[in-house]
Every structure is written in C-alpha cells, then in structure tokens.
C-alpha cells in the first residue's frame, strides 16, 4: 500500500497484479475502464428489465401485473438506472480505456482518484436499489411514484425511499465530478508532446466538453436535491408556496442540470462516431474544426435553454420566447455535426461492419429524434406534446441512437483492441438488425399515441389507445431480449477461442490513431514513454 | 398555414403508419383531434407546419445517406476521395450548412412566435368568463367564479363507463361556445396538468400558484382529456370531460346547477337533527365518490400509501381526532383537508366511516358537531 | 534509480485500498443518514461509524501522498495535475453555491412578487392570497414559523467579514514567508489564519444561537429562514473544513515539508480558503445586507 521504497516501484512496471486486489485496489486505467463497462452492462440489464416490465403492463388496457405505485417506481428507476447507471458509466468506461491510449499517456492523471470515482458507483447503485426495495419492508413507507424528475410537492409525500434516492444522487454526483476532473486534467496535462488541442482525437474533444459540462451542472442538481431533503425533514420551505417558496424552483434547478445532461449523454457517442465513420469510410473526418466549434456551441447554448422542459409551468411571454429561440438554435450546431458525418461518408469507400451499421443507424434515427425535438421546441405546439407519449418517443429516439447505439458502436469498434479477438461479425450484424427493428417498433407508435392524447407515466389507459400500445409492447420485448445476444457476443469475444479470429494491433483496415499502435490486447502499462507527434 | 393541409398529410401519415406498423387503422387517432377554437386551431397549424418541414428534411437526409451507402461502397470498387474535405465545399460548408439550418429555424420560429403571442395573450376584458380549475389527488374541481357554482369531477368506475373508462367522469365541465373563457389553474396538493387536446393547451396546476390560459370555443361537442403531470398513484384516473354547449343551453344549465346547490346548502344549514340511517345513507354515497379512490369502497385502503379505515384507530377512536384529520388533512401525505365540504356532508361521512365495515362504534355525528370542531 | 531518471516518468501509484474504503465510508454515512432521518435509531451509529472510517481514509490516503511526495517521486507534470484537479474541484464548488444563490434570486425576484400580486403570475394573489403583501424578509403567505426578526448586517456579520478578510491577508503573508523560505513567518501566518477562521466559526455559532433563542428566526421561518440557514450553513461547513485543512497544513509546515518550489498542498488549501472568503462576501451582500 504505502510504497516509500524504490523496489516496489519497479514492480508495477511489469504485469498486472493478481486476484481480487487487482480490481478492488486498481490504479490502472484499463482495469478501471473494464470495471466501468461491466458495471454499465449490469445496470443496462436492470434498467432494461424494468422497462420491459413497464411495457408488459401497458400491453393491454387495465391493471394486470403490477400496482400503480410499483409502476411509477419502475418508471423512476428505469430512467435513473439507464442514465446514471448504464450510459454515463459506459461512456466513462470508454474514456478510461481509450483516452490514455489515444493521447499517448501512461495512465489517467490521477489514478487513485480514478478508482474512487468508479467505486462510488456501486455504492450509489446500492442506494438506488434500496430506494426501490425499501418500501417492501415493514415500515419502509411509500414507493417513489414521482418519476426521475422527483418534482415536489409529490416527492415530499414519498416515504423514506426518497431519502435513499436523494443520497444516491449525491453519490452519483460525487462520482461524476471526480471522474470529470480526472478526464479534464488528463486531457489538458497528459497529451503526448506535439499533440496540440487541435490535433487531439475527436473522442477526446467530446469528453473534454462533456466533463466540463458535468463539473458545472452536477453540483446544481446536488444543491437542488439537498434543498428537497431539507424541505422533507427540516422544515424549510424552498418549494412550498405557503412559506414563500415555489415548487417550480426545483424544476428550474433540476433542468439546469437535466438539459446539459442530455448532451453529457450524447457527446461521448458523437465522439465514437467521429472515429467509426472515418475508419469504415476510409477517409478523414470531414470538418474537424467545425466539429469542435459545433460541440462547443452545443455545450454553451445547451447550458442556457433548460426551461424548454417546462413550457407549461406558466412563464412570461418574454421567457418562453427566449427559451424557444435558444432551443431552436441548437439545431444549427447539431445539424452541422450530422452534416459532417454524412460528408465523411460521402465519396468514401465504405464497408459495413457492425460499428458502421450502428453509425449509419445513428445518423438516420438521431436525425429523426432531433427533428421531433425541433417540433417540441415550438412553444405553442408543445402545449400539446408536453408530457404526452410523444415526448417519450422523442427522447428515446434521441437517447437510444444518440447515446446507446453510439456506445454499442464503440464497444464493437474497440472490443478487438481490448480483448485481442475479433468478435463474430455475423452475430454482430444480426444483433444490429434485431436491435434496430425492435427499437423502431417500440417507439415509433408512441408518437401517434401522444398526438392522440395519451399522457406519459400512466399505468392504465382507455381502449382507444390499445393498438399502438400492443405494437409498442411487442417491439419492446424484441428490443429488450435482443440485448442477450449482445451479452453473448461480448462474452464470446472475451473468452476468445479457435472460432474467432485474432485481432492485429490495427483491428480495422482504415483505422488511424495512437490507440492502434499498441498491442491487441494492449500491455498492462502502455505509453510509459510518450510518443512524439509530428 | 392553412388548416386544410392536414387532409393532405393525414393519408400520408396513415400510409407511413401502415407501412411501418402494419395495422394502423383510420379510427385510431394518429394526429391531434379536430380543434374546437381559434387558439387551438393556430396551434394545430403550427404543429402541421413544423411536422411538414421535419418530414421534408428527414426525406432529404435519408436520401443522401442511402444514396451514399449504395454508391460509395468498397464492394462496388469505389475509391475514397481523400481530398473531399479540401474542396471549396469542404472549406465553406461550415458556413453554408448553418446558414441553411438558420433559414429553416427562422421559418419555424417566426410562425411559432405569432401563434405564441395569441396563446399567451389572455384577454383582459371585463366580460371574460373566469373558471378556476383546481387539481386534487385524484379529481378535478371547477369553480365558475362568475356564476357562483362549483363542480366536482371524478372518473367513473369501469362498470359505469364501459368503453369510455378513464375518459369519462361523473360531472362534466359544461362550458359555453362563443364566449372567451379564462382558465385559472391551481392545485390543492401536488402538481397536475389540465389537458384536453381539442382545446389544445396544457397548463400545469402548480400547488400554491395560479397559472392562466384562455380559449373561445367555436363548436359544440364533448371533448375528452386527462391529467398530464404525474401526480401520484392514480394519475391515470383523472380524466377531464368538457361539454361545449350554446350560451343559451349553458345559462339553462347554470340555473339548474344553482338550484341544486342551493337546495343542498339549505338542507345542510337546517337545524334538523339527523337520524343515523339518514346520515349513513348520505355518508355511503359521499364516501364512495370522494374517499373510496384511496381508502377503497370496503374501507381496506391500499397500505402503506393509503391506510385502511376498517378497524383503524382513527375511525374507531376519539371522535375529535377523526374530525380533525378530515378537516385539516395530514401533512406530508395524500390526505388533504376536506374543510370545503359542508357540515352535513362531513357529519355524514364520519358517521358512515365509524359504523360501516364492522366499525360499529354506534357514534352519530351531527352537523352541529362539525361546526363546533371547525 | 536516480531521482532524475525517476522524475522523467509520470508517477503511477501502486494499487491502493483507499478508494474502496472511501466507498464503504460514504455508503455507510449516507445509508445511516437516510435511516436516521426517518426515525430509525440505529442510523445514527452507522453514520458515526461511516464518518470515523472517512476520517481514517483521509488520514491514510494523505499519508501515502505525502510520503510519495517527500520521497521525490512527483515530477513537474504530476504537480500540474494536482493543481488543475484542485482548480476544477473549486469550480464545481462555485456552481454548488451558485445553485443556492440562484434560488435566493429566484425566490426574491420572481416567486415572492407573484405571490404578492406582481409579475406574470400575479393573479395568484387575487385568487389565493388576497391578504398577502410582498416584502423581504418574508415567511410567505402562510407565515410559517411565526413572526421573526431578520438578521441585520452590521453586528456580528460585519465583524465576521472583517475576520475572514484578515484571514485572507494572513494566509497570503504566510505564503510570502514560504516563498522566502522563512518557516517562522509561514507558521505564524498559518496560526493566525486558523485562529481567525475558528473565531469566525464560533461567532457564527453564537449568531445562530441568538437567532433561534431571541429572534425566533429558525430553519422553518419560511423562505427567509430557509435561504438564510442554507447559505450561511453550507458556508460555515466549508469554513470548518477549510480550517481543518489549514491545521493539517500547519502540522506539515512545522515538520518543514514545504519548500519554495514544492508546496502544492499549501497552495491548494490557500485557494480553497480564498474561495470561501469570496463566497462569504457574496453572502454578506446578498443575504445580510440587501
């Protein structure tokens, strides 16, 4: 542990430590990256199971499987598990694995803190799961029936499980802030000599901006939920009109975090795309500079348009006009990004391995989600869409392709690098098609449900909404179960064996960058001497 | 945008629906229902405009991507153009693309802004009809501030509502056409949201604050909607039914409602001493509409959120405590204050709760007792 | 290996148990707190156990870091990582306080005027609170917590401002001593800073006692009480943390751990202390004065 002697120091330049200590005590970015990814995969299945239970309940009108409070509890937990448990840790896992390899650094800048930011996550997950199960114990109070937005006064009514949830959010916040500090410091301080910021791989750029956003907005969420905690237990009245507070204040604090959070989820995947598309189109990324500029613009505008999640709370004409125009303007940098990706594909020599299939899927479906986003940005029309199933469809079209498919693309793209084995391409392609078709069957009909008048977060609906709900539920089962195939492919690739090809150092013909110069799998320590960049 | 455009786009959407989903049928809504007023129609048009622009852009993006995927592939022997980003297009696209997108944005924002002003501009005229809408867990209260009447509106149970279950209520919100109506939304407990698609606006009911919207309906009909903001356990059971009638019919309806309310008030304020049977009968009816959503018809509740009344310490203990909790509610729970009910109603409900389901305390509470407890 | 060769490599620490211990301590602290807040008496003990473990963690982790630093294993690049890390940590703290200041602004300039009949949702007053007049300080239309006297700026708060500003000066003086390799000046400057900081905390505690017992100004006094205690309370907590950090630094200074070129820990604490100072100025102006 304490290593004040020199002899110890030499030891860690060799192979990996063994046994459980390797993982629990790790200070190695690759091991910690693996831990992040495994954690995310576990949470993906927990969140997915809750989603499938929700859709199973909605398969038919009436209340068949679960009671309304459990339903709302699942709605809450599905969101939190997916956002904080699956997507963010998976993106952090990619960052941990790839950033030091890409910039020629020996490890993350603060390796011990890196391990802390990972290990807080299981603690947070424990609290989150406790918040779900505590009501089932005697004296455990009522279930969390508020949705992940935990708006007061409803969240003040909930029993002790809400306190577990609030503390889980605190832990998740600490973890994200520590991880972000580490990533920013690594990117600013650890780049190989000669690698200027404008030569940095795009994935690193996206994470720099993401980490910056996290550091700025997560503390605000922490402040908001702390105020909620005080309102619940210590008699304050931040969100109580009788004492001069305002329930809407919480919504402002929440969405000041919540809207940038959308970009926090999206940007790392945009970064993955910026590597996948050039590799498989066999030509350089189109518009590197405009990409960086667009990303900075998205982050900046994204910080100041949060209230478009609350158009219906009663804001003055001036305020809604400002938030509407700001939100619509986001389409400019986002449009530029999508354009750059298409222009990278244009006149390339494309092949369609699984990562590229996901990339093209993202471009098409994310554009779709983005365009329904522009519709939602229009205040008067949002008076109709708000809190309907249309919104559910919209943000799943943004977050599934925009964030999760990007992560899938990243995993397939770098899995050969991590394991040294090529995954089974045939199975990868099958997974892509089942996944994408299942996804569309699930969420496309929800647009119509929303327009026809079905609110979101209801357990029971009128018979007029039956047909589309049946479709959506069938799609959800296909979509949900398809991830078992993903699990199988990943395990198969990790285990290797004779049926799989070995990966070369450069796993893909068109791949470029420092990460392809180290071995596949890379040695336990890489780039102990930094490469020189021309 | 002209209103007719929906008729051109609707078949298109249907075809899209059929193609993608297989079974979409005309009678199942896939777009907003037909608006019932000017504001609603403006909103409808801006919705169609943005949707058409979005569809158009989507088709362009899809075409370009699919073209590229088909022609620019290695298996066709296509050689990658390594200098594509160095052409004039590569150098200037970062200006061209944002300029084009800005143009689209401007079209949308301009149209939206005009509509926005109409929607937000609640008329300040004196003769506007004020309607206070209060959301409760889980029913709606409508106060006709100018007419002095009050309607409580609750979801009908499945056996009464049939196919309209979750879209039908016991007392409809009756409103006149051709009249400017100002809605004043507020909430008695947690946040709710009033949403009837034909009236085409949604406004949150924020606890302790009042938000405004307005409408002038131009056609008669029955319009159905639901609460749209998650408000706890029975969020799904807060339908809204608006019945738009001609001003004449509305006046007639107001007269009738007034008479009913006055009769009830007279009955409640009479000094009469009520028999247990009378109170029990009234109490059962009131309990089943107002209390049973949480405490259940058989008094067993849904613990832990909604405690049972059958054999509970409150319903079988001291009458004072029972009166207190009904009049003041219980802080931090869904149990709200019921002090807006009149003395007779509360007396009946409490008498019923103390004698039903084997709670046989034998207590009879008179309106005078409630009056003293207030 | 010579020291020179060493410093050409970026220092990667060996596997360490501290992060996992950190996880356990945080989990048990918060788990216990959630139980304690809901009347489960066991919760308190779990919190205490968690906090003790956390203290042990801080002690052990920093002991490792100090030992590594003293054995000259950190090169310039590592030092820069630490500095950047601390700066970004303080940036996140700025936004944490920003949430509370922002809430104060929202309540005073948007929400309360609505309740009082002005502004976009001014109709609220007409419908719900016809008796309520907008004023600041306010406990809202429900006058939660009963009548109270607000906290004026020109008593203890002004004195506290003076104390914190002086402590900012003394820590700078100590830094000059450190740069001039004058250990005596460093130690004296730190002792003065710590004394001023602790005095501030004592004064603040006295002020709270006064507010509760004589002014009837409590956490439950509507939004005024809520914002007042939330902002000053979190600041007071940060001052206490800062003072503990200063004491640790004082101990290291007495052991002569710092040199004119290698004293990141000192600077980190000094930055933190200045940050706490600046937050106080904001508090003094927006919470006490205006």
d(CA A370, CA A328): 10
Shared domain check, B288 and B369: yes
Shared domain check, B237 and B149: yes
Assign residue B357 the CATH number of its domain.
1.10.760.10
Shared domain check, B305 and B255: no
**Tens of pLDDT, residues C17-63:** 999 999 999 999 999 999 999 988 899 999 999 999 999 999 999 99
Instruction: Test C127 with B210 for CB contact under 8 angstroms.
Output: yes
Residues of A in contact with B225 (CB under 8 A): 453
Residues A299, A360 contacting (CB under 8 angstroms): no
Shared domain check, B275 and B255: no
**Tens of pLDDT, residues A381-408:** 999 999 999 999 999 999 999 999 999 9
Does residue C143 register a pLDDT over 90? no
More confident residue, B163 or B26: B163
Split at pLDDT 50, 70, 90, the class of A1 is: very low
Residues A412, B142 contacting (CB under 8 angstroms): no
Residues of A in contact with B161 (CB under 8 A): none
Shared domain check, B109 and B140: no
Q: How many CB pairs under 8 A join A and B?
A: 313
Question: Quick one: chain B helix, strand, coil %, rounded to 5?
Answer: 45, 20, 35
Provide the pLDDT for residue B347: 87
The residues facing B135 across adjacent strands are B140, B187
Q: What's the token pair of residue B88? A: 């004039």
Q: Is C248 exposed, middle or buried (0-12, 13-18, 19+ CB in 10 A)?
A: middle
Q: What is the DSSP string of B307-342?
A: ---TT-HHHHS-HHHHHHHHHH--TTSS----TTS-
Domains and CATH numbers, chain C: 10-73 (1.10.287.70), 74-289 (1.20.120.80)
Q: Beta strand B239-245 with B173-176: parallel, antiparallel or unpaired?
A: parallel
By C-alpha distance, the chain B residue nearest A135 is B304
**Tens of pLDDT, residues B266-299:** 887 777 788 888 888 888 888 888 888 788 888 8
User: Of B359-373, C170-184, C192-206, C248-262, which range is least confident?
Assistant: B359-373
Provide the pLDDT for residue B341: 83
How far from A30 is each of A98, A111, A115, A514, CA to CA, in Å? Answer: 8, 11, 11, 15
Does residue B131 register a pLDDT over 50? yes
Q: In what order do the strands lie in the sheet with B221-227?
A: B173-176, B239-245, B221-227, B192-196, B201-205
Residues of A in contact with C98 (CB under 8 A): 219-220, 223
Does residue B351 register a pLDDT over 60? yes
Provide the pLDDT for residue B320: 85
Does residue A11 register a pLDDT over 50? no
Residue ranges making up the domain that contains B337: 271-373
Q: Is C119 exposed, middle or buried (0-12, 13-18, 19+ CB in 10 A)?
A: middle
Shared domain check, B209 and B133: yes
How far from A415 is each of A242, A282, A410, C196, CA to CA, in Å? Answer: 56, 20, 8, 57
**Tens of pLDDT, residues A477-529:** 999 999 999 999 999 999 988 888 999 999 999 999 999 999 989 999 999 88
Q: In what order do the strands lie in the sheet with B139-144?
A: B149-153, B139-144, B129-136, B180-187, B211-216
Last-in-domain residue among B265, B300, B319: B265
Q: For chain B, say whether A387 makes contact (Cβ under 8 Å).
A: yes
Provide the pLDDT for residue B29: 67
Alpha carbon A201 to chain centroid distance?
Answer: 20
Instruction: Test C91 with A216 for CB contact under 8 angstroms.
Output: yes
Does residue A20 register a pLDDT over 50? yes
Shared domain check, B244 and B137: yes
Q: How far is A320 from chain C (nearest CA, A)?
A: 12
Last-in-domain residue among B120, B138, B155: B120
Residues A198, A180 contacting (CB under 8 angstroms): no
Shared domain check, B278 and B261: no
Provide the pLDDT for residue C197: 96
Assign residue B224 the CATH number of its domain.
2.60.40.420
Does the global pTM surpass 0.90?
A: yes
Residues C50, C57 contacting (CB under 8 angstroms): no
Provide the pLDDT for residue B6: 42
Residues of C in contact with B210 (CB under 8 A): 121, 123-124, 127-128
**Tens of pLDDT, residues A345-386:** 999 999 999 999 999 999 999 999 999 999 999 999 999 999
Shared domain check, B255 and B150: yes
Q: For chain B, say whether C3 makes contact (Cβ under 8 Å).
A: no
Split at pLDDT 50, 70, 90, the class of B24 is: very low
Does residue B193 register a pLDDT over 70? yes
User: Of A210-219, A243-252, A457-466, B364-373, which range is least confident?
Assistant: B364-373
Provide the pLDDT for residue C282: 95
d(CA B265, CA B369): 17
Of B108, B189, B225, the CB nearest to A378: B108
Q: Which chains touch B (3 or more CB pairs under 8 A)?
A: A, C
Q: For chain B, say whether C110 makes contact (Cβ under 8 Å).
A: no
Instruction: Test A315 with C120 for CB contact under 8 angstroms.
Output: yes
Provide the pLDDT for residue B28: 54
Does residue B16 register a pLDDT over 60? no
**Tens of pLDDT, residues A26-74:** 999 999 999 999 999 999 999 999 999 999 999 999 999 999 999 999 9
Q: How many domains does chain B have?
A: 3
Residues of A in contact with C80 (CB under 8 A): 189
Provide the pLDDT for residue B345: 86
Last-in-domain residue among B236, B265, B294: B265
Which backbone phi and psi does C60 adopt, to 5 degrees? -70, -45
Residue B274 CB contacts under 8 Å (≥ 6 apart), including other chains: B344, B347, B348, B364, B366, B367
User: If you average pLDDT over residues C214-242, what whole number do you get?
Assistant: 94
Split at pLDDT 50, 70, 90, the class of B317 is: confident
Residue A266 CB contacts under 8 Å (≥ 6 apart), including other chains: A398, A399, A402, A403, A406
The residues facing B221 across adjacent strands are B244
HSE at residue B191, side-chain half, CA atoms within 13 A, is 34
Shared domain check, B251 and B331: no
Shared domain check, B260 and B340: no
Provide the pLDDT for residue B105: 92
Q: For C71-182, where are the alpha helices, taking DSSP H only?
A: 76-106, 112-115, 123-128, 156-179
Provide the pLDDT for residue A15: 66
Q: How far is B317 from chain C (nearest CA, A)?
A: 25
Residues B55, B48 contacting (CB under 8 angstroms): no
Provide the pLDDT for residue A14: 54
Provide the pLDDT for residue C4: 41
Shared domain check, B216 and B276: no
The residues facing C77 across adjacent strands are none
Q: How far is A150 from chain C (nearest CA, A)?
A: 17
């Amino acid at each position: 542990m304490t290593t004040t002697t020199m002899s110890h120091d030499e030891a860690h330049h060799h192979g990996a430590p063994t046994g459980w200590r390797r993982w629990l005590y790790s200070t190695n970015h690759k091991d910690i990256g693996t831990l992040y990814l495994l954690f995310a995969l576990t949470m993906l299945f927990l969140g997915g199971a809750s989603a499938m239970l929700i859709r199973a309940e909605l398969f038919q009108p009436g209340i068949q499987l679960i009671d309304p409070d459990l339903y709302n509890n699942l709605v809450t937990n599905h969101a939190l598990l997916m956002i904080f448990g699956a997507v963010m840790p998976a993106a952090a896992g990619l960052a941990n694995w790839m950033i030091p390899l890409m910039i020629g650094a020996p490890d993350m800048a603060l390796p011990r803190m890196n391990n802390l930011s990972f290990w807080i996550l299981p603690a947070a997950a424990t609290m989150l799961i406790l918040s779900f199960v505590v009501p089932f114990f005697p004296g455990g109070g009522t279930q969390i029936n508020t949705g992940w937005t935990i708006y007061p006064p409803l969240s003040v009514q909930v029993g002790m499980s809400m306190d577990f949830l609030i503390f889980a959010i605190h832990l998740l916040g600490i973890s994200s802030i520590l991880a972000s500090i580490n990533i920013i410091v690594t990117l600013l301080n650890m780049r190989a000599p000669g690698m200027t910021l404008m030569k940095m791989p795009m994935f690193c750029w996206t994470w720099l901006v993401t980490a910056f956003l996290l550091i700025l907005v997560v503390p605000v969420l922490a402040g908001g939920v702390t105020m909620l905690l005080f309102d619940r237990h210590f008699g304050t009245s931040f969100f109580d009109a009788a004492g001069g507070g305002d329930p809407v204040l919480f919504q402002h604090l929440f969405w000041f975090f919540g809207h940038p959070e959308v970009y926090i989820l999206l940007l790392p995947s945009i970064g993955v795309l910026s590597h996948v598309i050039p590799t498989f189109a066999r030509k350089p990324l189109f518009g590197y500079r405009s990409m960086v500029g667009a990303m900075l613009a998205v982050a900046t505008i994204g910080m100041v348009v949060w209230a478009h999640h609350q158009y219906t709370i009663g804001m003055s004409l001036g305020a809604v006009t400002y938030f509407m125009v700001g939100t619509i303007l986001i389409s400019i940098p986002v449009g530029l990004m999508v354009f750059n990706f298409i222009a990278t594909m244009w006149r390339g020599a494309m092949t369609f391995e699984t990562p590229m299939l996901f990339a093209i899927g993202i471009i098409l479906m994310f554009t779709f989600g983005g365009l329904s986003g522009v519709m939602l940005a229009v205040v008067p029309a949002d008076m109709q869409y708000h809190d309907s199933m249309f919104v559910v469809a919209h943000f799943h079209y943004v977050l599934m392709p925009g964030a999760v498919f990007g992560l899938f693309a990243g995993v397939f793209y770098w899995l050969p690098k991590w394991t040294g084995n090529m995954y089974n391409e045939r199975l990868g392609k099958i997974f892509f098609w089942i996944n994408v078709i299942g996804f569309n069957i699930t969420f496309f009909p929800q647009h119509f449900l929303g327009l026809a008048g079905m609110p979101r977060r209801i357990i029971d609906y009128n018979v007029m909404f039956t047909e589309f709900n049946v479709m959506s539920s069938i799609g959800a089962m296909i979509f949900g179960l398809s991830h078992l195939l993903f699990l199988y492919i990943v395990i198969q690739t990790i285990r290797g064996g004779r049926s799989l090809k070995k990966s070369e150092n450069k796993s893909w013909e068109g791949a470029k960058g420092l990460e392809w110069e180290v071995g596949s799998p890379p040695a336990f320590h890489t780039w102990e001497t930094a490469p020189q960049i021309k | 945008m002209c209103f007719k455009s929906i008729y051109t786009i609707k078949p298109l959407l249907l075809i899209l629906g059929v193609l993608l989903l297989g079974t979409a049928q005309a009678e199942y809504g896939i777009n907003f229902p037909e608006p019932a007023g000017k504001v609603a129609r403006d909103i409808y048009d801006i919705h169609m405009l943005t949707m058409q622009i979005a569809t158009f852009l989507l088709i362009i993006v899809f075409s370009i991507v699919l073209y590229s995927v088909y022609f620019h592939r290695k298996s066709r022997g296509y050689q990658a153009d390594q200098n594509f980003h160095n052409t004039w297009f590569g150098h200037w696209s970062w200006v061209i693309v944002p300029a084009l997108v800005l143009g689209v944005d401007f079209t949308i924002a301009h149209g939206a802004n005009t509509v926005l002003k109409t929607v937000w501009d609640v008329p300040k005229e004196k003769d506007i009809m004020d309607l206070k809408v209060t959301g409760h867990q889980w029913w709606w209260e409508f106060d006709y501030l100018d007419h002095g009447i009050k309607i409580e509106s609750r979801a009908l149970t499945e056996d009464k509502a049939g196919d309209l279950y979750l879209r039908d209520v016991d007392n409809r919100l009756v409103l006149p056409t051709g009249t400017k109506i100002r809605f004043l939304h507020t909430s008695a407990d947690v946040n709710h949201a009033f949403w009837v698609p034909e009236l085409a606006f949604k406004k949150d009911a924020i606890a302790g604050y009042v938000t405004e919207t307005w409408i002038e309906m131009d056609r008669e009909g029955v319009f159905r909607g639901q609460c749209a903001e998650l408000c706890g356990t029975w969020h799904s059971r807060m339908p809204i039914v608006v019945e738009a009638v001609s001003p004449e019919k509305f006046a007639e309806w107001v007269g009738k409602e007034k008479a009913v309310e006055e009769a009830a008030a007279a009955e409640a304020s009479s000094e009469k001493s009520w028999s247990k049977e009378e109170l029990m009968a009234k109490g059962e009816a009131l309990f089943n509409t107002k209390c049973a959503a949480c405490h259940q018809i058989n008094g067993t509740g849904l613990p832990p959120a909604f405690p049972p009344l059958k054999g509970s310490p409150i319903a079988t203990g001291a009458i004072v405590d029972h009166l207190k909790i009904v009049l003041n509610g219980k802080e931090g729970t869904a149990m709200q204050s019921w002090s807006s009910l009149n003395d007779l109603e509360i007396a009946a409900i409490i008498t019923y709760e103390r004698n039903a389901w084997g709670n046989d305390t034998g207590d009879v509470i008179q309106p005078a007792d409630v009056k003293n407890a207030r | 290996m010579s020291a020179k060769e060493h410093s050409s490599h970026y220092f990667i620490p060996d596997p360490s148990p501290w992060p996992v211990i950190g996880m356990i301590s945080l989990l048990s602290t918060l788990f216990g707190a959630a139980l304690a807040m809901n009347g489960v008496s066991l919760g308190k003990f779990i919190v205490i156990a968690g906090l003790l473990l956390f203290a042990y963690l801080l002690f052990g982790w920093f002991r490792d870091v100090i030992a590594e630093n003293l054995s000259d294993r950190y090169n310039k690049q590592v030092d820069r990582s630490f500095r950047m890390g601390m700066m970004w940590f303080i940036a996140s703290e700025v936004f944490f306080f920003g949430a509370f200041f922002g809430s104060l602004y929202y309540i005073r300039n948007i929400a309360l005027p609505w309740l009082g009949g002005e502004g976009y949702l001014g109709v609220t007053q007409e419908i719900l609170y016809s008796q309520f007049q907008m004023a600041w300080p306010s406990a809202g239309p429900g006058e939660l917590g009963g009548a109270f006297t607000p906290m004026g700026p020109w008593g203890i708060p002004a004195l506290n401002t003076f104390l914190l500003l002086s402590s900012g000066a003394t820590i700078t003086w100590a830094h000059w001593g450190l740069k001039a390799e004058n250990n005596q000046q460093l130690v004296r400057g730190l002792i003065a800073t710590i004394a001023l900081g602790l005095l501030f905390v004592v004064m603040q505690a006295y002020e709270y006692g006064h507010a509760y017992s004589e002014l009837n100004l409590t956490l439950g006094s509507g939004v005024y009480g809520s914002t007042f205690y939330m902002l000053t309370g979190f600041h007071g907590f940060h001052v206490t943390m800062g003072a503990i950090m200063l004491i640790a630094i004082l101990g290291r200074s007495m052991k002569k751990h710092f040199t004119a070129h290698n004293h990141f820990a000192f600077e980190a604490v000094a930055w933190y202390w200045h940050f706490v100072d600046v937050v106080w100025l904001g508090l003094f102006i927006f919470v006490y004065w205006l």
